[in-house]
Amino acid sequence: MNRKSERNASALSHPGRLVISAILLLVLLYQWGSALGIEAKAHLAQILIERAWQQKLEAPDVAVRPWPWADSEPAGRLQWLDGEGRVRKDLFVLSGTHGEALAFGPGLMAGVVAGARVVGGHRDTHFAFLRDLRDGDQLRWQSESGRWQHYVISKRSIADARNNHLWIDPSANAIWLVTCYPFEALQAGGPLRYVVRADPLPAYPVERASLAGVQW
């Protein structure tokens, strides 16, 4: 092939390379945009749910939806405290653990009896912090009455949802936090679950929430 033919072949292949590069760039931007969109949606939803929760504290018997088309309402507030009592994570929990609700916040599983609370969340958004929890760390839960109950993490385990019931005792006065596992999995929906159990700390006085200074 002479030099003229080589130049012509190069010129013809150049637009093809540009098209392929543009397609790859668009795919990459779409993936980044999807990830950022999920994070943004999760963050914005928590702001709206917080406002609904403050209304719920004022009128516990009234159903308050965070947005008009929501199919769930806030059911509690969950915080992770460090050793000095500072809040490291503050989440508002929705009623129900169906897929749509979990996209906006952790969900309180329905049908659990006695004092047990089972809260599920996505491993890559609201419940990503579960990997950092250690035995002895503290959680606290605010109910619709506005009262806070303190808990201490007593057990962390990995369970197979196909073979057992995640080792959850519905008769225990405890909180279970459940998310998919492993945290680094490329695809969600596998059978493994990361389960954290927290038991109540009776030594802590029951705290009453204050609505003073709430900005609407």
Give the tokens for residue 71: 């199919």
| Residues 158/123, Cβ–Cβ less than 8 Å | no
- Read off the pLDDT of each residue in 175-198 and give the average, rounded to a whole number: 90
Alpha helices for the chain (secondary structure H): 3-58, 99-102
Number of domains within the chain: 1
Does residue 111 come out as left (phi exceeding 0), alpha (psi in the -120 to 50 range) or beta? left
Kindly indicate the confidence band of residue 12, based on its pLDDT and cuts at 50, 70 and 90.
Answer: very low
Write the DSSP symbol of residue 4: H
Instruction: Compute the mean pLDDT over every residue in the chain, rounded to the nearest whole number.
Output: 79
pTM value is: 0.74
**Window from 4-8, 49-53, 94-98, 130-134 with minimum mean pLDDT:** 4-8
92 domain residue, yes or no:
yes
Q: What is the pLDDT of residue 209?
A: 43
In total, the chain counts a number of residues equal to: 216
98 domain residue, yes or no:
yes
28 domain residue, yes or no:
no
The percentage of residues in the chain with a pLDDT greater than 70, rounded to a whole number, is 71
Residue 120 is part of which domain span? Answer: 44-208
18 domain residue, yes or no:
no
- Distance between CA atoms of residues 143 and 209, nearest Å: 10
61 domain residue, yes or no:
yes
96 domain residue, yes or no:
yes
Q: What is the pLDDT of residue 210?
A: 36
> Could you tell me the CATH number of the domain that includes residue 155?
2.40.260.10
Distances from the Cα of 28 to the Cαs of 21, 25, 34, 50, 160, in angstroms?
11, 5, 10, 34, 34
Q: Give the pLDDT confidence of 91-145 residue by residue, as tens digits.
A: 999 998 876 778 889 999 886 656 789 999 999 989 999 999 999 999 999 999 9
Kindly indicate the confidence band of residue 211, based on its pLDDT and cuts at 50, 70 and 90.
Answer: very low
Q: Say which residue the tokens 């915080």 belong to.
A: 79
| Residues 64/73, Cβ–Cβ less than 8 Å | yes
163 domain residue, yes or no:
yes
202 domain residue, yes or no:
yes
Higher per-residue confidence, 50 vs 6? 50
